[in-house]
Amino acid sequence: MNDGIKKFIPRETLDEIKELSRYKKIVVHGVGLSIGSYDGYSEEYLRLLDTLYEEINFEWHSEHLGYIMVEGKTLGTMISLPRTDETVDMISERVLKIIKRYDREFLLENIIRIVPDYDSDYSESEFMNKISSNTGCGFILDVYNLQCDEHNHGFDLHKYLSEIDISKAREIHIANGTVEDGFMLDAHCDTVMDSTIELTKQILVMKNCGVKLVNYELLDEAIPAMGEEAIADEYKRLSQIFCA
Amino acid sequence: MDLKTLQLKLLDILKEKHIPSDEDEKYIKDVLSSKNLTVLKDIIYFWRSDELARYCNFTSAYLKKINAFDDKVKEYYRVHNTSGYIEVLGKEFLNYLKSDIDKLTVFVAGFELSMIEVNSGSENDFFIETCYEPSDVFNFVYSDSEYPSEKKEKFIVRVSSELENNFTVINTN
């Protein structure tokens, strides 16, 4: 796939992560793999991951269960996949290749669905469980994305959580966003809502929950509007809640 | 519909290349008539605009001043393959504007692209020719001055790391 992405990670960035890895565990989270593109995932992204794999001893790595390109053409956003047998087979085959290539646990994250739902063979939970059971991959549960889907489409979030194989969840992502034309969007631009925190707490005490990390997501673009002090305060607040 | 067909049709819809017809599958008709599609396009344009406004600040400010920014971003997205990386997208967008029919857009984009190259470590010298007095252009973009008028003489802006502030204006007359 010719995706025109960056061909390398700057040396100073690698050195900074290496230094951090001396006293912190590192996990890798990508947005450029496009694992769901019918014509193949991004080899350029994997080459970037190769560099990290060679230089950094990361714990696990993860990507989004969606696609950002078609035939090398960038869509400009991430789009959710139809939950069909064809998709399950394609994703499973690719996940197995990735797990073999890096010898690290690989996680897939649920993304917000904006396009109308396609007539599917699987429910959202069945879809994730099937891919996981086919491949052994884990999950990221993006709690805010689940809340967006609940708000935007009437998605049954609690049914999903009762059906998903929670032992395979390794990370929870929490964030906040915006509301546009009545749609909740995952803009990653604000402090976390109380409802997101409460839901996260509920997940963490679920029987056999495999979550090891709660990740507060904030885009660089949100920093000027939020301010560094507010971000530091939010980090402290979340740390007190989830690291106590 | 198989995955290939579905994804190619969604791509065409987002790039405004799809021509609706009675032959469209029900799902495609649902997408086309949905508010979801409008939201999806808004998201795409919002992020491209946000990235470009930050990366090519001068050109974006100029285009906003002439009320052309949103249309240029949308036109660029529709016609070109946009990189997800701002360093790539920003340069490609400026290169695209260098072929614009508006001569002032061509100058502004060419100047900013050269400045980005030099600020990124390029040791090359860049020469951008224009029929606008560059200071008029800067004043128009960053203050309330009037839209610059074309001059009879030519101006060449040299962009180089050897120069103070990385650029100088040469009047050819």
Q: A169: which strand partners?
A: A139
What's the CA gap between A166 and A160, in Å, rounded?
Answer: 10
Whether residue A92 contacts residue A161, with contact meaning beta carbons closer than 8 Å, is answered with no
Does the beta carbon of B7 lie under 8 angstroms from any beta carbon of chain A?
A: yes
Segment holding B154, helix H or strand E = strand B150-159
Q: Which residues of B touch A68 (CB under 8 A)?
A: 84
pLDDT at residue B85 in the model: 81
pLDDT at residue A241 in the model: 96
A103 falls within a domain: yes
What's the CA gap between B67 and B75, in Å, rounded?
Answer: 14
Helices and strands in chain B, H and E counts? 8, 3
Q: Minimal Cα–Cα distance from A67 to chain B, Å?
A: 9
Does the beta carbon of B73 lie under 8 angstroms from any beta carbon of chain A?
A: no
A235 falls within a domain: yes
Shortest CA distance to B93 belongs to which of B64, B113, B119, B111? Answer: B113
Does the beta carbon of B48 lie under 8 angstroms from any beta carbon of chain A?
A: yes
Does the beta carbon of A115 lie under 8 angstroms from any beta carbon of chain B?
A: yes
The number of residues in chain A equals 244
Q: Which pLDDT tens digit goes with each residue over A54-103?
A: 999 999 999 999 999 999 999 999 999 999 999 999 999 999 999 999 99
pLDDT mean values, one per 10 residues, chain B (173 residues):
97 96 95 95 93 95 97 95 86 96 97 96 96 95 93 94 94 72
Does the beta carbon of A32 lie under 8 angstroms from any beta carbon of chain B?
A: yes
Q: Minimal Cα–Cα distance from A43 to chain B, Å?
A: 15
3-state secondary structure B84-140: CCHHHHHHHHHHHHCCCCCHHHHHHHHHHHHHHHHHCCCCCCEEEEEEECHHHHHHH
B162 secondary structure, DSSP code = T
Q: Which pLDDT tens digit goes with each residue over B9-25?
A: 999 999 999 999 999 99
Shortest CA distance to A187 belongs to which of A156, A161, A218? Answer: A218
What's the CA gap between B143 and A112, in Å, rounded?
Answer: 41
**Structure tokens given for A178:** 């915006």
| Residue B84 to residue A119, Cβ atoms within 8 A | no
A164 falls within a domain: yes
Q: How many domains does chain A have?
A: 1
A237: domain CATH number is 3.20.20.150
Mutation for testing the B interface, residue in A31, A74, A178 having most B CBs under 10 Å: A74
A45 falls within a domain: yes
| Residue B81 to residue A185, Cβ atoms within 8 A | no
Q: Which pLDDT tens digit goes with each residue over A1-59?
A: 445 455 678 899 999 999 999 999 999 999 999 999 999 999 989 999 999 999 999 99
Q: How far apart are the first and last CA of chain B?
A: 65
| Side-chain half-sphere exposure of A200, counting CA atoms within 13 A | 28
Domain segments of chain B as ranges: 26-171
A106 lies in which domain range? 11-242
